[in-house]
Amino acid sequence: MPLIKNFVAAICALAALLFLAAPLTWAGGYSGWTADDLAPAAGAQMPFTYGTDRVIVVLNGKINISRADLKAYIDDAARAVIKIYGRLPVPLTIVRIDATEGNHVGFATSTFDDENDYGLIELSLGRNTSRASLNKSWTLTHELLHLGFPIVEKSKRWLAEGIATYEEPIGRVRTGMTSARQMWAELIENAPAGLPQSDGGLNYTRSWGRVYWGGALYCLLADIEIRKQTKNRFGLEHALRGIARSGGTAASDWNAHQAISAGDQALNLTVLQDLYTKMALNPGSINLPQLWNKLGIVENNGVISFDDSAPLAAIRKAIESGS
Ligand SMILES: [Zn+2]
For the segment 257-304, what is each residue's pLDDT rounded down to a tens digit? 999 999 999 999 999 999 999 999 999 899 999 999 999 999 988 899
Q: Considering only 64-68, 92-96, 105-109, which range has the smallest mean pLDDT? A: 64-68
User: Rounded mean pLDDT of 232-240?
Assistant: 98
CB 304 within 8 A of CB 254: no
- Looking at per-residue confidence, does 34 or 84 come out higher? 84
State CA 80 to chain mean position distance: 9
Q: How many residues would you count in the chain?
A: 323
Helix (H) / strand (E) element for 135: namely: helix 131-136
Query: Going by DSSP bridges, is the β-strand pair 105-113/92-100 parallel, antiparallel, or unpaired?
Result: unpaired
Residue 109: beta bridge partners? 122
On the question of pLDDT at 9 being above 50, the answer is: no
How remote is the CA of residue 142 from the centroid of ligand 1, in Å? 6
How much is the pLDDT for 4?
A: 41
Is the whole model's pTM more than 0.85, yes or no? Answer: yes
Residue 72 Cα to ligand 1 midpoint, Å, equals 22
User: In this predicted model, what pLDDT tens digit does every residue of 117-145 receive, in sequence order?
Assistant: 999 999 999 999 999 999 999 999 999 99
Q: Is the pLDDT of residue 175 over 70?
A: yes
According to DSSP, the residues that pair with 95 across neighbouring strands are 57, 121
- pLDDT above 60 for 99: yes
As a whole number, mean pLDDT of residues 92-119 equals 96
221 pLDDT more than 80 = yes
Spatial separation of the C-alpha atoms in residues 145 and 89, rounded to whole Å: 7
The per-residue pLDDT for 40 is 65
Quote the ligand 1 centre to 195 CA distance (angstroms). 19
pLDDT of residue 217: 98
**Who has greater pLDDT, 104 or 302?**
104
Q: List the shell of residues around ion ligand 1, using CB closer than 5 Å.
A: 161, 164
Centre of ligand 1 to C-alpha 207, Å, is 15
Rounded distance, CA 320 to CA 313, Å? Answer: 11
Q: How far is the CA of 166 from the centre of ligand 1 (A)?
A: 11
Rounded distance, CA 64 to CA 127, Å? 5
Say how many Å lie between the CA of residue 213 and the centre of ligand 1: 11
Residue 183: is its pLDDT beyond 80?
A: yes
CA of 311 to the centre of ligand 1 (A): 32
- Over range 173-181, report the average pLDDT: 97
Q: From CA 69, how far away is CA 275, in angstroms rounded?
A: 41
Tally of CB atoms within 10 A around 39:
18
Whether 3 has a pLDDT exceeding 50, the answer reads no
Nearest to 123 by CA among 102, 89, 99, 101: 99
Distance 221 CA to ligand 1 centre (A): 19
| Distance in angstroms (rounded) separating the CA atoms of residues 282 and 28 | 51
